Amino acid sequence: MHRRHFVSGSASVGGGGSLAEAAGADAPDEATRRIERATAAAMAMQRRDWEQGIIAQALLEAGDRERVILLAKGAIVQSAPDGRLAVVVAGGPTDPAMGGEAYWRAAEWAGDPGMKEAVLGLLEYLRHRAPRSSDGILYHTFEGPEMWSDGFNCAPPFLAAMGHYDEALAQIDGYRKRLWNPEKRLLSHIWDDGARQLKRADFWGVGNGWAAAGLTRVIRSLPPGRDEDRAHLAAFVEEIVDGCLAWQRADGLFHDVVDQPETFVETNLAQMLAFAIYEGIAGDWLPEGHRAAADRMRAAARARMDVFGYVQGVCGAPNFDRPGIATEGQAFCILMESAGRKVA
C-alpha cells in the first residue's frame, strides 16, 4: 500500500529532536515513521481520562519527553476535586490511573512541585478513597460495584510504578479471581460484585489485551528480589496470549469477542498482544518462540493504518461497539512499535 509520509520529523523528544534522531538514524526506520504518524493522528483526537493516560504512556515509551510533559499538564488542568486527573466527563474511579506513571515521570522531568502534588493526589485517591470491594479490590465504575478486565491496566501499573508492589499484586489477584476462565484461558469482561456474578461473561478481545498490557507494565516495575512475583505474572501473561492465539484469524487479527466469529474483526488486540510479547522477550520473561506470533500481529495491524496515520478497525470510540478509530488504538500502535524496536 502506498502511503504519504505526512509528519516526518514532527515528533520531538526531550532534547527537541525528532524520534528519528532519538533512534540514532539518518533516516527514520519503519517503526519510527509509524510512531510519528500515529502520534500526529492521536494528538488531533478529543480524549477522555483513560485515553489521555494511555497516549501519555505510549509517548513515554516512545521517548517523546516533551509531549509527555504537555499531556501531563493538560491532565492536571482537568483535575477533579477528589484527586482524579484528566476528568472531562464524569468518568470512573480508576481510569485516570492509566496515565499515572507517565504523569509522574513528567513531573520529575519538569521539576514542578505542583505537578508532583497533583499526581500524588491521584495516588492518594486510589489508595484511600476510591470505591472498592470488601476485600479491597477497586471498582471500575461509580454506577455500580463492577470490576472490568480493563482495570488490569489502570491502577496496578501506577501502583507498581510508585513502589506499592503488594497493592498492585493484590488488585491483579482480585481481578483474576473474578474474571479468569481457566478452561478457556481468557478473561471475561465484567464482574458485578453486588450480584456476585459475571455481568458480561464474553471474552472481549480488547479487555484481554488491556490485561496483558497492564501485567506487562507491572512486571517491568518489580524490583530485584521479587522473582517469584515476576514469574507468577509472566505465566499469567503467557496464558492470556496463548488463550487469545487459539482464536486468531488467518489474517492475523481477532474477532471483537475472540471466540465469537459473528462479531466484527478488530485490530487493537493484535497490537496489544504484540506489545506484551515484544516486552516479554526483551525482558527475558517470555519465550522467544512467541516472537513469530507477535511479528504476524504487527504486520496485520500495520496493514490497517491509513494514509493519515489512523489505525482503522479498532474498537471505535466513543462507544467501542463497532470497528473504527480510537485514541487507544493509536496508543497501542506506538506501544507495539516501540517495544518491537527493542527486539529488532
For residues 187 and 181, the answer to whether their CB atoms sit within 8 Å is yes
Helix or strand (DSSP H, E) at 110: helix 100-110
> pLDDT (tens digit, 9 = 90+) per residue, 308-322?
999 999 999 999 999
CA 84 vs. chain centroid, Å, equals 18
Q: How confident is the model at residue 155 (pLDDT cuts 50, 70, 90)?
A: very high
199 within 8 A of 146, measured Cβ to Cβ: yes
User: What does the alpha-carbon distance between residue 175 and residue 91 come to, in Å, rounded to a whole number?
Assistant: 20
Angle separating helix axes 65-77 and 100-110, nearest 10 degrees: 110
User: How many Å apart are CA 291 and CA 140, to the nearest integer?
Assistant: 33
The pLDDT confidence band at residue 22, using thresholds 50, 70 and 90, is very low
Residue range 214-234: mean pLDDT, rounded: 98
CA dihedral 325, 330, 336, 340 (to 10 degrees): 120
Would the pLDDT of 17 be above 70?
Answer: no
What percentage of residues in the chain have a pLDDT greater than 90?
91
Q: Reduced to 3 states, what is the DSSP secondary structure of residue 75?
A: helix
pLDDT at 12: 31
Neighbours of 304 (CB within 10 A): 22
pTM over 0.75? The answer is yes
Q: Which residues contact 256 (CB under 8 A, 6 or more apart)?
A: 204, 205, 206, 263, 264, 265, 266, 315
pLDDT exceeds 60 at position 182: yes
Residue whose C-alpha is closest to residue 149's, from 198, 80, 78: 198
Per-residue pLDDT band for 5 (boundaries 50, 70, 90) equals very low
Label residue 91 by pLDDT band (50, 70, 90). Answer: confident
pLDDT tens string 192-217: 999 999 999 999 999 999 999 999 99
Per residue in 258-288, pLDDT tens?
999 999 999 999 999 999 999 999 999 999 9
Residue that is written with C-alpha cell 504484540 in the block = 274
Helix axes 205-221, 268-282, angle to 10 degrees: 20
- Position 75 confidence tier, pLDDT thresholds 50, 70, 90: very high
* Segment 38-74, tens digit of pLDDT: 999 999 999 999 999 999 999 999 999 999 999 999 9
Residue 14 has pLDDT above 60, yes or no: no
The answer to whether residue 11 scores a pLDDT higher than 80 is no
DSSP characters over 285-318: SS-GGGHHHHHHHHHHHHTTB-TTS-BTTEE-TT
Supply the pLDDT for residue 27: 57
User: Mean pLDDT in the chain?
Assistant: 93
Residue 1 scores a pLDDT above 80: no
Percentage helix, strand, coil for the chain under 3-state DSSP, each rounded to 5: 55, 10, 35
DSSP state of 249: -
The cell numbers describing 117, all together, are: 502534588
146 with 140: CB under 8 angstroms?
A: yes
* pLDDT (0 to 100) of residue 28: 72
Q: For the chain, which domains are there?
A: 25-342 (1.50.10.10)
